[in-house]
Amino acid sequence: MVMHAPGLAPILSPGQFVNVAVPGDPSHITRIPLSFAGTDPKAQTIEIVYAVVGEGTARLSRMGEGDASTVLGPCGKGWRLDDVSGPALLVAGGVGAPPVLAAARGLLARGIPFDVVLGAQTAGKLWGVGLAKSLGAGRVVVTTDDGTAGIKGFTTVAVEQMQGERDYADVLTCGPQPMMAGVARLALADGSSCQVSMERMMTCGFGACNTCNVAMAAGGYKACCTDGPVFDAREVAW
């Protein structure tokens, strides 16, 4: 989905998210938090790629050209791209691809070299391979759980192989939590810094409802929607 969002598109940073009100059901009082794959500040547009997983996203998928609603943003804290020295390894699993490829756009603008690993359950659920290549990734490696595309296995299989071929200063990852835990473990063991974009049920999107807590390694919790969704991997209690 491409949304025309005057005023918002130019101020979004990679890794942040937007909170979208989906019309069609007045009983659905909460917005849907969605990451974005990219923005076009000149055209004032935001590109969102999402999976239809429930009634709200099903209604979202039925919106057509010219339909209107409201969106709140920028929400959350995104990738700390100014801290990335490169080369960087970007690792995405499933619907974690959009924020990772938003990071790729930011690294491209900064002239920082990067490689990309994209994983999915099957070839039919892969997204972003062509985009990653067009954004100047040095290598784009694909993994699928069932082996229908690329390497058969999890993204961590590809990460280990690529670590043996190149020294990465930074790793950025988004996807299912078990996947990110594995990527973070490999990154930190290899001496790379590691940023993780956590996925939680962010009901309100601004820190009021306490439904998106992320357990911290030092004890206590932080809110995914306001303290994250991007965290240093060392902060998180995996």
Has 57 been labeled as part of a binding site?
yes
Q: Kindly give, in sequence order, each residue whose CB lies less than 8 Å from that of residue 172, ignoring residues fewer than 6 positions away.
A: 79, 84, 88, 89, 90, 91, 100, 103, 194, 195, 196, 197
Architecture per CATH, 2-75: Beta Barrel (2.40)
Peptide bond into 6 cis (omega under 30): no
Q: Kindly give, in sequence order, each residue whose CB lies less than 8 Å from that of residue 137, ignoring residues fewer than 6 positions away.
A: 90, 104, 114, 115, 116
Q: Which amino acid is at 149?
A: A
Please, where are the H alpha helices in the chain?
Answer: 55-61, 97-110, 129-134, 155-163, 177-189
Q: What is the pLDDT of residue 206?
A: 85
- Given a contact cutoff of 8 angstroms between Cβ atoms, the answer to whether 62 and 23 are in contact is no
Question: CATH says 81-198 is which class?
Answer: alpha beta
User: What pTM was computed for the model?
Assistant: 0.94
What the block records as the tokens of 233 is 């991997």
Has 225 been labeled as part of a binding site?
yes
Q: Which string of b and e fits 140-166 if b means at least 16 CB within 10 Å?
A: bbbbbeeeebbbeebbbbbbeebbeee
What does DSSP assign to residue 21? P
How far, in Å, CA of 68 to CA of 64, rounded? 9
Q: How many CB atoms lie within 10 A of CB 107?
A: 24
Sequence spans of domains, the chain: 2-75, 81-198
Q: What is the pLDDT of residue 158?
A: 98
Q: What is the pLDDT of residue 207?
A: 87
Print pLDDT tens along the chain (238 aa): 999 999 999 999 999 999 999 999 988 889 999 999 999 999 999 999 999 999 999 999 999 999 999 999 999 999 999 999 999 999 999 989 999 999 999 999 999 999 999 999 999 999 999 999 999 999 999 999 999 999 999 999 999 999 999 999 999 999 999 999 999 999 999 999 999 999 998 888 888 888 999 999 999 999 999 999 999 999 999 9
Q: Please report how the helices 155-163 and 177-189 are oriented relative to each other, as an axis angle in degrees rounded to 10.
A: 10
